[in-house]
DNA sequence: GTTGCATAACTAATTTATTCGTTGTATATT
DNA sequence: AATATACAACGAATAAATTAGTTATGCAAC
């Protein structure tokens, strides 16, 4: 999956949030100082070329919406990250952050609960 | 912490791996097609300006080594990622990947073990 | 000392990304 | 129908990143 540049990612984050929108609506979601209308319009068209969004035309105006979901993109991004920084091991990554105390006890307990359920589910399947 | 560009990250990954090295040694680690010596030299000097590496001079030649550890950089990167894609919740991220089956049962079991230990450690401290 | 080689520093060239002005066209307004 | 408005498309201008040529300096070999 192609990478998003900074500017492109910012637009995607907005589109993921609002689900669909006209350039004008995307522009509104930008923090000050807002870019020019044309800047957003250009970025959106680049995103379309890259296959991240598509549009529905209402006469002359276009309503854009994501084709690549935030989940799919984040999956691909984290995969690259885990590969580059934790030799492709999720376990290494998670345990690193657990030991670094970047994950609170509460979070760890919640994660463990989810994992227990998942492990159970996988076992049942067999 | 500043971000690394693609080219910069590639050099850092090499430096993190070899611990320290002269430009020539860094160059050797590149896959074909290797960039020009000067390209690597420039990137390393940019990394120095950005504070990611420093050097020890042996006469006219410089031996470069990382100032920012791979751990520190990955921590900062993942923090940004979790913030942007999982509203700053580690738990959301990990459980998303657990449910996506990007984490194997074996990995989950190992992670749970580590978390149990960590939770225990945290509790003892109080 | 002179020549040749290795290297860092500097700088130019190229590529990629970002930003936005201009233009043309469709639609709405009068 | 004429004018105004809104928008997408285009493309120019700028900025940032990447790549590598050129230059200057130090050191080694002779």
For chain A, give every domain's residue range.
1-88
Distance separating alpha carbons of residues A111 and A123, to the nearest angstrom: 18
Hey, is A53 helix, strand or coil? strand
A86 to chain B: which residues are within 8 Å by CB? 74
Strands (E), chain B: 21-22, 53-58, 61-66
Average pLDDT over every residue of A65-94: 95
pLDDT at B30: 93
What's domain A1-88's architecture? Orthogonal Bundle (1.10)
Distance separating alpha carbons of residues B97 and A71, to the nearest angstrom: 10
Q: At what angle do helices A6-18 and A70-85 cross, to 10 degrees?
A: 140
ipTM of the complex: 0.85
Residues of chain A with pLDDT > 70: what percent? 99
Q: What is the pTM of this model?
A: 0.87
β-sheet bridge partners, residue B56: B63
Q: For residue A126, what is the DSSP state?
A: -
B9 to chain A: which residues are within 8 Å by CB? 84
pLDDT at A72: 96
Residue A103 Cα to chain centre, angstroms: 21
Angstrom distance, A38 CA to D12 C1': 13
Inform me whether the C-beta atom of residue A83 falls under 8 Å from chain B C-beta atoms.
no
For residue A21, give Cα distances in angstroms to A28, A43, A61, B93, B94: 10, 14, 11, 27, 30
For residue B70, give Cα distances in angstroms to A79, B18, B19, B108: 17, 12, 11, 24
The protein side of the strand C contact, defined by CB less than 7 Å from any of its atoms, consists of A 5-8, 35-36, 38-39, 41-43, 46, 59-60; B 22-24, 38, 41-42, 45, 60-62
B39: CB within 7 A of chain D nucleic strand = yes
pLDDT mean across residues, chain B: 93
pLDDT at A126: 66
**From B119, which residue of chain A is nearest by alpha-carbon distance?**
A105
Polymer length of chain B: 126
Distance separating alpha carbons of residues A23 and A6, to the nearest angstrom: 18
Select the residue of B70, B96, B111 nearest A115 (Cβ to Cβ).
B111
Distance separating alpha carbons of residues B61 and A75, to the nearest angstrom: 43
Question: Tens of pLDDT along B39-54?
Answer: 999 999 999 999 999 9
Tell whether the model's pLDDT for residue A122 goes beyond 90: no
pLDDT grade, residue A125 (50/70/90)? confident
Tokens of A126: 């067999």
């Amino acid at each position: 999956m192609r990478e998003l540049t900074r500017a492109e990612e910012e637009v995607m984050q907005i589109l993921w949030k609002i689900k669909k929108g006209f350039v004008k609506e995307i522009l509104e979601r930008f923090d000050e100082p807002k870019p020019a209308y044309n800047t957003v319009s250009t970025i959106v068209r680049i995103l379309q070329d890259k296959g991240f969004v598509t549009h529905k035309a209402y006469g002359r105006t276009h309503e854009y919406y994501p084709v690549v979901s935030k989940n799919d993109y984040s999956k691909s991004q984290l995969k690259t990250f885990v590969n580059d920084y934790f030799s492709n091991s999720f376990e290494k990554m998670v345990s690193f952050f657990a030991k670094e105390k970047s994950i609170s006890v509460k979070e760890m307990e919640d994660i463990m609960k989810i994992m227990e359920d998942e492990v159970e589910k996988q076992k049942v399947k067999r």
